[in-house]
Amino acid sequence: MGTILSRYIQPGNRLELKKTKRLRKGEEDEQSCYTSQLVDIISDDRIEITMPMERTKLIVFPIDGEYDVDFLTTNGLYQCCARVVDRYKKDKIYLLQLELTSNLRKYQRREYYRFSCALEMNSRQLEEEEVLAIEKNKDAVTPELPLHRSVIADISGGGLRFVAEYAYEIGSIILCKYSLWVDGENKEYSLYGKVLSVRPVENKKGFYEHRVQYVNMDKDNREEIIKYIFSEERKAIRMRSDI
């Protein structure tokens, strides 16, 4: 007989864990996010997941550590709070056992779910007069100015993270141009973003990681990006289930 939990999440679902941290209003969230996979539903308040890895290194989560957990399913995103109650190795796989300390709830803020990828992007910092025009909801971007290449590392309906061989100033407004496969066609996007953080990439001298939040974003563009993310994740889930 199945559990109530299995009505919403299934073994094989991808999930993300973030250390529980309550932010004050206006604070930026810089905490690490770790990817894992649901292995088994033990009961309505216990699950078994793979131990997250960073590159080739296992991340050893402390017993009694508390985390926010996001589950990606074919029916959308679900979220709960959980506590690590055990860690062990079974069939040559390192696992964590979590106790769910809150009810599973549908994740409404879909635009903030980050999808890992490797997409080419061109960008440049906007001129002062262009920024002033955008603040007045006018589109006055000069199209012929040169753009700089970069690679998007993850994307969401709220912003993106990219890596480049240059560094923008924190707080600057940039033009981001990239394309996504949406509704059976390759669509090009020209979006504006505010640079929230910049830091050197570890073990990659001369490269910088940027975190960007969209500004003045059209609702239709946001929904298309979210649609792209869910479509790509569903493909990944199907591929994993076929292995």
Regarding the domain delimited by 112-236, which CATH topology (the fold level of the hierarchy) does it fall under? Thrombin, subunit H (2.40.10)
pLDDT at residue 39, as a whole number: 96
pLDDT at residue 26, as a whole number: 43
What integer best gives the mean pLDDT of the chain? 85
pTM to 2 decimals? 0.60
DSSP reduced 3-state for 25 = coil
Give the CA distances from residue 43 to residues 47, 76, 77, 104, in Å, rounded to whole numbers and listed in that order.
7, 22, 20, 13
CA dihedral 198, 204, 207, 208 (to 10 degrees): -10
Evaluate whether the domain defined by 5-108 bears CATH number 2.60.120.1440.
Answer: no
Stretch(es) of the chain classified as CATH 2.40.10.220: 112-236
| Per-residue pLDDT at 27 exceeds 50 | no
Stretch(es) of the chain classified as CATH 2.30.110.10: 5-108
Confidence of residue 79 (pLDDT cuts 50, 70, 90): confident
| Per-residue pLDDT at 134 exceeds 90 | no
> Residue type at 24?
R
| Per-residue pLDDT at 57 exceeds 90 | no
Q: What percent of the chain has pLDDT over 70?
A: 86
pLDDT at residue 99, as a whole number: 97
